[in-house]
Structure 1
Amino acid sequence: MRIPPIFFVLTVLFFMSGYSYAESLLTRVKDIEQRPFSLSGNRIATWKKDGIRVFAVQKDARILQWPFQITADTAVCWFHEEEAAQQKEAIVEVYCEGKVTILEEGNYEQFEQVYLRFETLTGIVVNPDVQPIETYEVAQETEIVLRGEEIRSMGREEYLSAEIPAKMSPSDVSQKEEMVDILADSIDSWEDGDKRIVVALGNVKVKKEDMTIDADSVILWFDATESDISAEEKLPLREIYAEGNVAMRRKDDLLIADKIFENVKEERGILINSKIKTKIQEKRDKTDVASEMKAPSRKEKRFTFEGFPAYVKGEEIRRVGKGKYEITNGKISACGYGHPHYHFKGKKIRLAQRGVHNIVSSTNNSFYLDRYPIAYLPYLSLDVRRKERLLRDWQFGSSSRFGSFIRTDWDLFAATGGNQKDWSDLILNLDYLQERGLGTGLDFEYNREDLFGYIDTYYIKDHGDSDINDVPIENEDRGTILWRHRHQLPYDWRLEMEYSYLSDPRFLREYFRHEFKQEKDRETALYLRRIHDTSAETFVVNEQFNGFDTTVDSLRERRYAERLPEISYRIIGEPIADNRLVFTSESAATYFNGSFERIDPEVENESVARMDSVNRISMPFKPGIFNINPFAEGRVTAYTESIDTSDAVDEANGPAAGRFIGSFGFDWSSTHWRNYSYYQDFLKINRLRHIFVPELRYMYSPIVTKDPNEVYQYDSVDALDSSHVAVIGVKNKLQTKRGEPGLEKTVDFINFNVDYYLFPSKAGIYNDGINGIIIRKDNFVNIDFRSQLTDIVAFVSERNEFNTEKFQFDVLSSGLEFYNLPDWQYFIGHRFIRDISSTIILAAEYTISEKWKVMGGEMYDFKSFELIEDENDNIDRENKSQNLKTYLVLSRYFHDWIGSFTLELDPVRDDSSYRFDITPKGLERKTRRFWF
């Protein structure tokens, strides 16, 4: 049983003082000593004292002995090494300090100081995260070690305190300098006044704290002390001079130079003919809670460059303080080549290391591609640990519809700097299209602890005469604004907002085809909801400021209804009657302010208020191997106005109306399986498991008190009519084992699902589709089939519909997938839609070498059609074969950029184009503006 943390708090207050338990923490777990004990952290040092091996973790300490997990800023472990060699059990004493969290099977406690005594039969595993374990001959008497020793001397089994430990006085801490290790072919030393000088020649390696130096020769100056210490490695280091292939490493930074001189005490120095390479750190969020909230659909996603290097070069680099450097006439680049492909050149460059940030600022900058300057910036500020690029992406080429073009994305925060970069992005779009004009936009994305969203804008003064299908352009000022926002509020409430503006109904189709075809409708809406246990409350205001449907063209008939507002309350699966019944309900009050349609409606839309409530009671039970869920449902809908049907022609402004729809039905299923000892080498079949799930779903709505043609049609609720549906289905799955012996994995060899839809009384099903309300009354069979023939080849045939009344396929698709990643992958497929299309789809991707990749695709429709207008202005369809799309992409992978050359034919848009695209590695492929 899980015990909430408050129980432990009450126990502490009642039985003990403010920092200890009445019961030993570790004794509650049986046989804990048989579990492995592990210690890990950012940097670990070790030494041996009095037969005890001591490990000191300086950052991000993690200790694990299941079921206990401990995390802390720092930690010290005393492992009784000599006793472990003589006895079966070994003792590990642990002292942790700074934001200590103890987790035990879902429960957690937080402290500032923790001391525990563990026992282990399996020894101790130590794993440093950043660099190898540092071994010392003498004990390192740091503050945390001394505090831990003081608590150990108390002889207690455990010590738990929420108080922040007081800082120890300097007299309590050893003032010994950390040792300096020197390795070289030849080492000589002598004293000169109050200094000891050490000269190391040939393959020199110097190591001190978190700094290492490799060079051909090194001179070190140590401060001599009054005590007679013969080993200079234990003296305080004062100055270093290194020359000849010098490489100095500090944490994640690498300094390369011909010569380096550094005053260690004053933290100043100079580097000659040098380069600083700093590593980009992984950006960690303060909390993972925000990651659980999925952001709204977005045309551009954020990217990271963790692990990529950044370089600062100069003939002379001066170190002017801790983590601070100044460079005159230097270069900044993310290209590590000796002659970088691109770089910024600045007259005065400063590098400041501040915690997790490395800020590079520069004045009077020129941006170079190879040796050629292409842009000038008076001021530049970059956080190179985040690997920010001023030019995010760029592309140029030519199109038969747009002419020659260039498209660029600029990171404004990369140039201006500031803390806003930690939680937001600001991208400037600058485009030139020869036939259409200049386009510009701003994309702002933000992500805070309890809110996130984005604002995208774009504007172009369109010089063209017509859009696709030769539709004339009425206004040359064209553009869009889209704002989507989500805010997590107190008491489980969540607010979502969207604002959308479009200059005209054809703008998206012309310039943002991906959003037009695939993303959700543009709308202006406010959505407030709260989900608590099995209930949910929502409030929606939805208005179309544009005055037209934003995502469809003239061949579609989607209806868009404004809700001003809609309030709803839902109960989902609430058990009642001692859990024998399940109650589900949804009630909504809506005020419709008309709707937008692409075709002229026969009945004029009116502003109508509607009350709708649907309630279902089900009684699931399981007799034997069967799952049965019968249900009864009733829907009550009331309208303030209806359609007046008193005359021959339907008119508006009818009386208030209401209707009731009564339904009942059941769901039935059963699961069976069987294993077969069948083996086959060619298809790599290693036994078979057959999973067989028959299903039956039935629903009948015999009671409908008012015909749907007598009420206004705003969504699928208004279109509901008498329905009678039975679905007989069978799900089949064949599984086998594939892989090396001992590493086999279960593979779904075949998935074969069949659903037979029957409409006994010709009363079908009603769905709200992209072409308005879809009514399906013909009996049909839905077939899904997939077979993973080998590890490389799969056959797919999904979403097929066979009309049993006309005995022909309405929809039929099939395809072969070939995957041999990362070298190559292919797809060959066919999709048939009766009376609409019969399309062949070919796609391939092949990796020529480590740096070159080619991909291409083809879509050809054998049953395409076009609209023909005769002499009497009647429109008819004429079938013809047509190429839908052909493309070929050749990609070249550089060290941190990807260059692509694309050829594309798009007869549907009457466009052919070629383009060159340069994209940084690590950047997710963005949806392109224009036709891309």
Structure 2
Amino acid sequence: MPSLRAAETSETELVRAPITIASRFSQQWTEQNQLIQILRGNCVIQQGATTLRSQQAVVWQRSEQSGDEVTHYLTIFLKDDVEVEEPSRSLREPSLVRQMRTLSDVSIDIGKTINEPAPEDPLLKQAIQQAQGVRRSNLQPTQFVVQNPETDLSWQGVTIPSTGLKKHITIEGRSTIQPSISSIESHDTTPPETVTIATGGITVRVFDAEEFGIVDLTADRMVIWVKSDGTGRPLSSQEFDGNAPLQIYMEGNIIIRQGRDTLTATHAYYDITDDRGLLLNAELRAYVDELQGDVRIRAQQLRQKSRESYHAQNAWATTSQFGEPGYRLRSTDIFLDYRYNQNWLGQGNYDIDPATGMAIPKATPWVTSLNNTLTISEYDIPVLYSPYLSGPAEDPNIPIRSVTFEQDSIFGTQVKTEWDMFKLSGINKPDGVEWGLLADYLSDRGPAVGMSTDYSGEDLFGIPGIYNGEGLGIFIYDEGEDNLGRDRRSLEPKQDERGRAQWRHWQRLEPFDALVIGEFGYLSDRNYLEQYYEKEFDRRKDVETLIYGKQDYENWSWSLLTRPQVNNFENTTEWLPKLDLYGLGEPILGEWLTWSSHSSIGYANLQPADPPTDPNDLFTPIPYITDDSGMVMMTRHKLEAPFNLGPVNVVPYVMGEAAYWDDGINNDQIDRFVGQGGIRSSLMFSRIFPNIYSDIFNLNGLAHKIRLESEYAYTDASRSLNDIPQYNEIDDNAQERFRQRLLTNTFGGVLPAPFDPRFYGVRTGAGTDLTAPYHELVEDQQVLRLALRQRLQTKVGPPERQRIRDWMRLDMGVSYFPDQDRDNFGEDFGLYTGSYQWNVGERTSILADALYDTFDDGQELWSLGVLSQRSTRGSVYAGIRQVKGGDLDSNILTASYSYVMSPKWISTMGTAYDIAEDQNRGQTLTVTRVGADFLVHFGFGADASKDNVSFGLSIEPKIGPFNAYSSQLSSLLNVR
């Protein structure tokens, strides 16, 4: 009796406990006084200590009131990864039907909800079929759970509609030979059955609107059981209720097609009504959109547990389409089912129904496997073992992404591997997220290990807007020396434990028209990035730590930047914080004038870089980066009065600035007032030559367009630039590192004035623009800038869709300095610029540019090259570039190409040679073999500056279409 009383008390407590329903997506509507919900993605239903979890669910909810008490009745169908946790037990099932009730509330927590009926949803139809419980007693599915009728709700609160769907069968021979077909009536079962025996090659098609539409089954011999209609008519003449039992046993050359999945076997039993089957010596081919092909699973025994769930035993899986695949994953058990996309941060991605415009959750084929061995070649050579793997079928459980072997004199023999952490850990891969493990060994340096990630999605934390991010953390125990080229070939690192940790996040907040950027960047020492990630050091954004936010409203915007210094060996201005306010083109006085402004205020802490610990690492402090801190304030305002003087557009303007620095270069408080006045003008004219045609030069008419531009500006500043520290950075870290060496190894310790980057910025007017990020770059100046811009344009494309493109383009410019001694080293004219492009054809262009100064030791820069592009098949470039100024003088001849030589071979090459110094600058060559199952990259590189020759071999599994897997040749591998 005590146990019975305890059970009754527990049941009463459970009924009085509230019920919570949560999922990522819900489609819901009301029908017959009940709420119907179709849930997808991380479905969780909880009442007291009972928790139900699944990937998909259907909930019918109805309420009844008796006096002051309201009872909520729920019938719940759960499918895919069903987990039940109760105080007395835990269980896992493919699908489950449960009933719940509560005298308390039912709360709902859904990520995205669509209030739209979906009576034709396949999940709802399957739920109705399961809930009605119409099955033959001897084939009752084990996953169909019915509670004790004495304590159960007896379905009293919910109305489950009938499907009302019908199915019918056709039987025919699989070849021109007529099969042998006979039928008998069996009354030993309830209800009676018709048993049909067919031999001689049979094809059976089951037309079922509720499931796949058509299920096609072919075999040498079959036995078919169906519910008898009592008429004795042939099966092809009968029509069955959608829930009517239909089972088939097959032998010999079996092929089953359902939807886009195909199964083959030697023996099979198939229950079409329940979408269950058992196949021996079987192979499943499941089509995956992302692969644009099939994932193959071959097994001694294959069970189909439901329409979208399979279990293979003693099996292997591969995406190779060859009979003997080049790689396969051998496993004791492989499970294939369909899951709906998840996202750790946002709402995940959804397809859009073109008819209704509603969001449809996206189902992903998912493979989970046990006791796995990855083998390669037809000899099944084992290369990897893992006890558990889980991941989407388009990347079927192969945890290794790439293996690279390299050899050079800087790092020695290198083995670099990249692994998929989701597969190694068995964690479900969220939509839009990649997570990799990096495990390397460098014989001359040491072992390295790290992790990388990148992610993207929409609606982070429910806020509309897209976001993306990336992260990398890798560390190495380095026992070698750094070789950074030329006079830095043997540098001792500060410490043996070296590496980096970096994270960047970018997010758009659409409701607020705002942008948020967050970054964290840590480097162990000053030379780690340049040694191990040279291209990133030279070309990409600096590694730094910051939080930045920006919001726009019409023609106004504001931004807030907070940036501390994490890496003490880099020149950094800490902003703690900095606020900027912009207003552009605000009309005043009836639009006769436009007013623009830029104001900023911030607390700055300018931190010069710590010198290197190795005295052989050349280092000279940059003079305008000093140890100063304090408030930095600035406000600029500009008035413009545009008008037309005949065909000439004229814009007189005045600009004024007031700025303040707490700490100047001489450790004193300074202020500065700047006034600028000027006038801009432009004149545009053109002439059309409609009768010029040329097949050779691809001309179809010609238009010559010319634009003449001029600007005169007079600037007066109350404070010299030499008094002001450079709080706002003008160079990235790579450029600053070069300047710290250039002063010693090129100019002998004294920097010539023409090479002062701040004065160069003053000459070009970089700091006088209203929105210039480095407002310090202002000095007294008077300048007249002239420019000529020309276009020769023609029409290309079919007659009905012609478009205009530049056939030839030529831009030229020059600056005149009335006070040449102060502003331009004694020369009246300077900053001669030119840019030329001739698009000879659709695929070939001639390119040239130049930048000259005529004073002593001035810059003389020019380049000339030819670029030919063959669509996505590749490109070829050859050119020469001169870099001359002071003691610098080089003429570098460069050539590069990338080309798809055939469907199986791809190559890329680059070379550079300095003609002026008669020195080889380096070469690279990569050849890729596109095999049936693998991409194999062969690489060679020579770097004369580092006196280094390298060789490399990289192997990547070929999974899916070209653009899905290779990062090294992404553009070329799009070729079909």
Same fold at TM > 0.5:
yes
Query: Distance in 1 between the 2:545 and 2:827 partners?
Result: 32
Offset at residue 915 of structure 1 (A): 0.6
- Of the candidates 689, 707, 721, which is equivalent to residue 693 of structure 1? 707
Match of 2:85 in 1: none
2:335 aligned counterpart, secondary structure: strand
Per-residue Cα deviation, 1:498-553 (whole angstroms, up to 9, x for no partner): 1111110000011111211111111111112221111112211112211122xxxx
Q: 2:629·2:662 contact (CA, 8 Å) conserved in 1?
A: no
Which sits farther off after the overlay, 736-745 or 340-349? Answer: 736-745
Match of 1:517 in 2: 538
Match of 2:492 in 1: 472
Offset at residue 720 of structure 1 (A): 1.2
Match of 1:192 in 2: 184
What does residue range 604-615 of structure 1 map to in structure 2 within 5 Å? 604-615=626-637
Offset at residue 183 of structure 1 (A): 6.6
- Of the candidates 560, 564, 575, which is equivalent to residue 543 of structure 1? 564
Match of 2:446 in 1: 437
**1:828 counterpart letter in structure 2:** A
Query: Distance in 2 between the 1:787 and 1:478 partners?
Result: 49
Q: 1:430 to 1:492 in 2, by over 3 A?
A: same
TM-score by length of 2: 0.67
Q: 1:540 to 1:657 in 2, by over 3 A?
A: same
Offset at residue 739 of structure 1 (A): 4.9
Offset at residue 457 of structure 1 (A): 0.3
Q: 1:204·1:218 contact (CA, 8 Å) conserved in 2?
A: no
Q: 1:496 to 1:791 in 2, by over 3 A?
A: closer
Q: 1:583 to 1:673 in 2, by over 3 A?
A: farther
Query: Distance in 1 between the 2:874 and 2:453 partners?
Result: 37
Match of 1:374 in 2: 383
Match of 1:717 in 2: 775
What does residue range 167-246 of structure 1 map to in structure 2 within 5 Å? 170=161, 174-177=164-167, 180=170, 184=174, 185=176, 186=178, 189-193=181-185, 194-195=193-194, 197=196, 199=198, 201-202=200-201, 204=203, 206=205, 208-209=207-208, 210=212, 211-213=214-216, 215=218, 217=220, 219=222, 220-226=224-230, 232=236, 234-236=238-240, 238-246=246-254
Q: 2:221·2:252 contact (CA, 8 Å) conserved in 1?
A: no
Match of 1:828 in 2: 878
Match of 1:812 in 2: 862
Query: Distance in 2 between the 1:607 and 1:312 partners?
Result: 66
Q: 1:190·1:197 contact (CA, 8 Å) conserved in 2?
A: yes
Q: Does 1:852 align with 2:859?
A: no
What does residue range 397-408 of structure 1 map to in structure 2 within 5 Å? 397-408=406-417
Q: 1:428·1:443 contact (CA, 8 Å) conserved in 2?
A: yes
What does residue range 539-618 of structure 1 map to in structure 2 within 5 Å? 539-549=560-570, 560-597=572-609, 599-601=620-622, 604-618=626-640
**1:378 counterpart letter in structure 2:** P
Q: 1:578 to 1:383 in 2, by over 3 A?
A: same
Offset at residue 191 of structure 1 (A): 3.1
Q: 1:180·1:234 contact (CA, 8 Å) conserved in 2?
A: no
Match of 1:750 in 2: 808
**1:653 counterpart letter in structure 2:** N
Q: Does 1:680 align with 2:694?
A: yes
- Of the candidates 384, 400, 403, which is equivalent to residue 394 of structure 1? 403
Q: 1:707 to 1:318 in 2, by over 3 A?
A: same
Q: 1:473 to 1:273 in 2, by over 3 A?
A: same
- Of the candidates 330, 341, 353, which is equivalent to residue 315 of structure 2? 330
Match of 1:785 in 2: 836
2:322 aligned counterpart, secondary structure: coil
Query: Distance in 2 between the 1:178 and 1:693 partners?
Result: 76
Which sits farther off after the overlay, 192-201 or 453-462? Answer: 192-201
Query: Distance in 2 between the 1:256 and 1:630 partners?
Result: 81
Q: 1:387 to 1:626 in 2, by over 3 A?
A: farther
Q: 1:734 to 1:711 in 2, by over 3 A?
A: closer
Aligned residues: 706
Offset at residue 882 of structure 1 (A): 1.7
Q: 1:655 to 1:888 in 2, by over 3 A?
A: closer
Per-residue Cα deviation, 1:684-724 (whole angstroms, up to 9, x for no partner): 322222222222233221x2112222233323422310223
Q: Does 1:902 align with 2:939?
A: yes
Query: Distance in 1 between the 2:202 and 2:795 partners?
Result: 55
1:382 aligned counterpart, secondary structure: strand
Q: 1:463 to 1:804 in 2, by over 3 A?
A: closer
Which sits farther off after the overlay, 186-195 or 781-790? Answer: 186-195
1:848 aligned counterpart, secondary structure: strand
Match of 1:77 in 2: none
Query: Distance in 2 between the 1:763 and 1:580 partners?
Result: 38
Q: Does 1:280 align with 2:265?
A: no
Offset at residue 745 of structure 1 (A): 4.9
Offset at residue 666 of structure 1 (A): 2.0
Q: 1:278·1:385 contact (CA, 8 Å) conserved in 2?
A: no
What does residue range 77-116 of structure 1 map to in structure 2 within 5 Å? 112=116
Offset at residue 569 of structure 1 (A): 1.1
What does residue range 105-504 of structure 1 map to in structure 2 within 5 Å? 112=116, 170=161, 174-177=164-167, 180=170, 184=174, 185=176, 186=178, 189-193=181-185, 194-195=193-194, 197=196, 199=198, 201-202=200-201, 204=203, 206=205, 208-209=207-208, 210=212, 211-213=214-216, 215=218, 217=220, 219=222, 220-226=224-230, 232=236, 234-236=238-240, 238-281=246-289, 305-354=290-339, 356-370=363-377, 371-385=380-394, 389-448=398-457, 449-450=459-460, 451-468=467-484, 469=488, 470-488=490-508, 491-504=512-525
Q: 1:628·1:669 contact (CA, 8 Å) conserved in 2?
A: no
- Of the candidates 526, 544, 549, which is equivalent to residue 547 of structure 2? 526
Query: Distance in 1 between the 2:673 and 2:826 partners?
Result: 20
Match of 1:794 in 2: 845
Q: 1:309 to 1:698 in 2, by over 3 A?
A: farther
Q: 1:781·1:802 contact (CA, 8 Å) conserved in 2?
A: yes
Q: 2:880·2:893 contact (CA, 8 Å) conserved in 1?
A: yes
Cα RMSD of the aligned pairs, angstroms, is 3.4
Query: Distance in 2 between the 1:778 and 1:182 partners?
Result: 92
Per-residue Cα deviation, 1:449-482 (whole angstroms, up to 9, x for no partner): 2344222101000010344221112310001011
Match of 1:6 in 2: none
Per-residue Cα deviation, 1:227-260 (whole angstroms, up to 9, x for no partner): 6765625433712344554433333322233444
Q: 1:665·1:700 contact (CA, 8 Å) conserved in 2?
A: no
Q: 1:881 to 1:562 in 2, by over 3 A?
A: farther
Match of 1:657 in 2: 671
Offset at residue 491 of structure 1 (A): 3.5
Offset at residue 837 of structure 1 (A): 2.1
Q: 1:637 to 1:361 in 2, by over 3 A?
A: same
1:401 aligned counterpart, secondary structure: coil
Q: 2:260·2:287 contact (CA, 8 Å) conserved in 1?
A: yes
Offset at residue 395 of structure 1 (A): 0.8
Query: Distance in 2 between the 1:842 and 1:512 partners?
Result: 23
Offset at residue 788 of structure 1 (A): 1.6
Q: 1:346 to 1:765 in 2, by over 3 A?
A: farther
TM-score by length of 1: 0.70
Percentage of pairs with the same residue: 22
Offset at residue 583 of structure 1 (A): 1.6
2:697 aligned counterpart, secondary structure: coil
Q: 1:361 to 1:419 in 2, by over 3 A?
A: closer
Match of 1:296 in 2: none
Which sits farther off after the overlay, 738-747 or 575-584? Answer: 738-747
- Of the candidates 787, 792, 797, which is equivalent to residue 734 of structure 1? 792
Match of 1:294 in 2: none
1:790 aligned counterpart, secondary structure: coil
Offset at residue 218 of structure 1 (A): 5.8
Which sits farther off after the overlay, 249-258 or 339-348? Answer: 249-258
Query: Distance in 1 between the 2:936 and 2:844 partners?
Result: 30
Q: 1:436·1:464 contact (CA, 8 Å) conserved in 2?
A: yes
Which sits farther off after the overlay, 364-373 or 401-410? Answer: 364-373
**1:192 counterpart letter in structure 2:** I
Q: 2:603·2:630 contact (CA, 8 Å) conserved in 1?
A: yes
